[in-house]
Structure 1
Amino acid sequence: MAGGGGVGDGGAEGGGGERAVGVLLGELQRLYREVERGTEAFNATEEQLRRRRAEVGRLDAELARARLSLHDSRGAAGRLARQQYQGSTGISPYVRLLLARDPQHALDQGHVIGRLARERAETVGRLASGERKADGLARKARAALDDQLTLAERAKKERDDVRRRLDDVEELLASLTAEQLAALAELEKKGVAQAQEKLVASGALGAPGEDRKPSKEGEQAVRYAVRQIGKPYEWGAEGPRSYDCSGLTSEAWGHAGTPIPRTSEEQWARLTRIPLTRLRPGDLVIYFPEATHVAMYLGGGKVVQAPRTGEKVKVTPIAAQPVLGAVRPDPEGKPLGRYEPPPVRQAPATDVR
């Protein structure tokens, strides 16, 4: 449904007016799509940044332990050096053995000396190993910190880009009259209904009424997502007060005990793909060629989703956006014997924003 084109002039009535509204809707949907693409890029960078921060913390802690161990090894090596210097006579153990009045006692002393020598060698070895480990960890920590700073800068640029695109959306909406906004909402609703009818008629969703049962985890994910209906969309949000599209789906499956990737692109790339004819509640429906939007299937050709800025989490037809495909977070999950869909309360009506 999203398309390019400039903003047209004219009213909402007549052939020319309808075309003008169509141009407006296409422009608005293009802007929304750009916002969502930027949002998912930001989410992906934030996820990388989160992992890198954890890696930096882990390396810092390991480096601190290595330095403490190195400090202890250096202290032990220093004590051995002082003992060796203070106990040195300049006479080799062999000469002392020949000159000893009690050769057996000298031999016993030789064993002690040998053991001390081995301990010294082990201490020196630990010292050298500790120095190598500390140096290696310091290099890794510096590299991880550099990566963290790079990712933080990228996230800032992506966040600023999303805000600029949101400003473009707000500017376009502010330029429209109440009649134009109403016409846009009606035209979008009509387009969704036509797309849904076409999808159902094609048999892509399987036979009518052929709804499958979810797995136990899928049911939990569905119930979580449905409980969020009415909460506002907010880009980059993962709940509990607001969500973006992939924030809703990832949190729902996380609460079901099955962590999934944070972004819609990663959900599409890493989760098991299934045909639409095999959809069951809890499966994820991915939208647009770039996989920049995601919703959760409820059954009966409906999904629950966090649609876009200005709207709330709600239930829509599956064809509310152009469908790319579907994925299943728990491909090994067995369907429930009995399933009672959760009651769904629809979110308050919103306009095209």
Structure 2
Amino acid sequence: MSDVLLRLVCTAAVTASAVLVPAPAVAATAPSSASAKPVDTRSVPQLLRDLQTLYRQAEQATEAYNGTAEKLKRQRAEVARLDRQLVRARRALAGSRSAVGRLARQQYQGSTELSPYVRLLLSPDPEHALDQSQVIEQLARERAESVARLTGAERRADTLARTARRALAEQIALTGRQKRQRDDVQRRLKDVEALLASLSAGRRAELAELERDGVAAAQKRFLASGALSDTRPPTERGDRAVRYAVDQIGKPYQWGGAGPRSYDCSGLTSQAWVHAGRAIPRTSQEQWARLPHVPLRQLRPGDLVIYFPEATHVALYLGDGMVVQAPRPGTRIKVSPIAANPVLGAVRPDPGGRPLRSYAPPPLPHGASQGSDTGYSAAAPAGGA
């Protein structure tokens, strides 16, 4: 699917009065053959809702894929750690077995001689006997310690081997899950392509106009509601996160992308904060679940705005009611109105940071606001708080 087609079509927002209904099967609108294409009788608002429903499903699948990818990364690191421990445990076990073997050989080789204890009893020199008794006691302790080390090394190696096998099995399961989720994303995006391919140029233009009008109306209502207050200055790290995100404007959206050439929505926000010196969760759902929440009236540049009831979309707050975001497949990173999608809430990666005394926002590149604003629509009008 060409970027031109996506830019023409996928720039849409649901109007305030629209009520979403489940999307009909895309197959019903796809061409039945190369020579015959059924006429799609859906209204333009219904087409927009159906298209955004498909995009939302793709977004949910993408976030699931990203979450599994993060778990798989951690699991691979755990397997590698356990493997290193197991190698050390097996070396220690081999050393303990070697020490016990030497003791066994020494005992066997001295089996025809008098026992050291008998020699101690027959010794004519009391002082020599005392010294010899201490040597025998030390030898006995060393033998007991060698046997104990061998027993402990065997237990540790056995426990590590079982743990490593379980960790590897989990890694294999995560790999399979990731593949299924990747296939799910690709299948859902093909559904979007099929819907887009079924539309005429005129209907695509109507979709684009409807989206633009919807976003403008949603932003106007959102700002008039008083949900936002005067812009607060960011912290030093928040400023660095904002400047990093602004530097990425114009780069393409790519599901699963975390830079430096392309990003998805949470890939952009997580990398912006990594480059600001603060590691945050990779996915929008984890960002919403694990980062401190902040009221919208207290937003400051660098905070993250989370969208949709399932927290499946995220953008970085720029200030003055605008965000930097990676909207959806086929679009590029851009500046958008904060109300382009239904706002769930906001989180702050650096709640203990001190705001800058003076702040000058970074200059925006030419065309920073061009292109589609909406991500993956929920069952409510865009811009709902």
The reply to whether TM is greater than 0.5 is yes
TM-aligned CA deviation for residue 219 of structure 1 = 0.3
Q: Which amino acid aligns with 2:357?
A: G
Shifted more, 57-66 versus 18-27: the winner is 18-27
TM-aligned CA deviation for residue 173 of structure 1 = 0.8
Question: 1:218-266 CA distances to partner (integer Å, 9 max, x unpaired)?
Answer: 0000000000000000000000000000000000000101000000000
| Structure 2 counterpart of 1:119 | 142
Give TM-score, length-normalised by structure 2.
Answer: 0.85
Residue in structure 2 matching 1:159, options 182, 193, 215: 182
- When the two structures are aligned, how many residues end up with a matched partner? 343
| Structure 1 counterpart of 2:63 | 40
Q: 2:132 and 2:110 mapped to 1: Cα distance? A: 13
Look up the SS of the partner of 1:294 in the other structure: strand
TM-aligned CA deviation for residue 94 of structure 1 = 4.7
Residue in structure 2 matching 1:340, options 352, 360, 366: 360
| Structure 2 counterpart of 1:260 | 280
Q: 2:121 and 2:271 mapped to 1: Cα distance? A: 80
User: Percent of pairs identical after alignment?
Assistant: 64
Higher relative contact order (CA 8 A, sep 6+): 2
| Structure 2 counterpart of 1:74 | 97
TM-aligned CA deviation for residue 64 of structure 1 = 0.4
TM-aligned CA deviation for residue 348 of structure 1 = 7.8
Residue in structure 1 matching 2:321, options 280, 290, 301: 301
Do 1:312 and 1:347's aligned partners in 2 also have CA atoms closer than 8 Å?
A: no
Question: 1:80-108 CA distances to partner (integer Å, 9 max, x unpaired)?
Answer: 11112222357555532332222322221
Question: 1:176-204 CA distances to partner (integer Å, 9 max, x unpaired)?
Answer: 11111111111011111111111111111
TM-aligned CA deviation for residue 67 of structure 1 = 0.4
| Structure 2 counterpart of 1:320 | 340
Give TM-score, length-normalised by structure 1.
Answer: 0.93
RMSD over aligned Cα atoms:
2.0
Residue in structure 2 matching 1:133, options 156, 159, 169: 156
Do 1:97 and 1:103's aligned partners in 2 also have CA atoms closer than 8 Å?
A: no
Q: 1:191 and 1:88 mapped to 2: Cα distance? A: 96
Q: Which amino acid aligns with 1:257?
A: G
Shifted more, 70-79 versus 92-101: the winner is 92-101
Q: Which amino acid aligns with 1:254?
A: V
Q: 2:175 and 2:118 mapped to 1: Cα distance? A: 68
Q: 1:25 and 1:185 mapped to 2: Cα distance? A: 9
Residue in structure 1 matching 2:45, options 22, 27, 37: 22
List gaps (5 residues or longer) in structure 1: 10-16
Residue in structure 1 matching 2:291, options 262, 271, 284: 271
TM-aligned CA deviation for residue 313 of structure 1 = 0.2
Look up the SS of the partner of 1:238 in the other structure: coil
Look up the SS of the partner of 1:197 in the other structure: helix
More helix by share: 1
Question: 1:249-293 CA distances to partner (integer Å, 9 max, x unpaired)?
Answer: 000000101000000000000000011000000000000000000
Q: 1:279 and 1:102 mapped to 2: Cα distance? A: 90
Do 1:70 and 1:127's aligned partners in 2 also have CA atoms closer than 8 Å?
A: yes
| Structure 1 counterpart of 2:305 | 285
Do 2:72 and 2:174's aligned partners in 1 also have CA atoms closer than 8 Å?
A: yes
| Structure 2 counterpart of 1:95 | 118
Q: 2:354 and 2:54 mapped to 1: Cα distance? A: 40
Q: 2:121 and 2:198 mapped to 1: Cα distance? A: 107
Q: 2:203 and 2:369 mapped to 1: Cα distance? A: 21
Q: 2:333 and 2:348 mapped to 1: Cα distance? A: 21
Q: Which amino acid aligns with 1:304?
A: V
Residue in structure 2 matching 1:83, options 94, 106, 115: 106
| Structure 2 counterpart of 1:144 | 167
Q: 1:349 and 1:258 mapped to 2: Cα distance? A: 30
| Structure 2 counterpart of 1:247 | 267
Do 1:230 and 1:348's aligned partners in 2 also have CA atoms closer than 8 Å?
A: no
Do 2:59 and 2:312's aligned partners in 1 also have CA atoms closer than 8 Å?
A: yes
Do 1:230 and 1:347's aligned partners in 2 also have CA atoms closer than 8 Å?
A: yes
Q: 1:95 and 1:148 mapped to 2: Cα distance? A: 60
Do 1:80 and 1:120's aligned partners in 2 also have CA atoms closer than 8 Å?
A: yes
Residue in structure 2 matching 1:56, options 76, 79, 96: 79
Q: 1:350 and 1:203 mapped to 2: Cα distance? A: 27
Do 2:120 and 2:132's aligned partners in 1 also have CA atoms closer than 8 Å?
A: no
Q: 2:130 and 2:290 mapped to 1: Cα distance? A: 69
| Structure 2 counterpart of 1:203 | 226
List gaps (5 residues or longer) in structure 2: 1-13, 30-39, 376-385
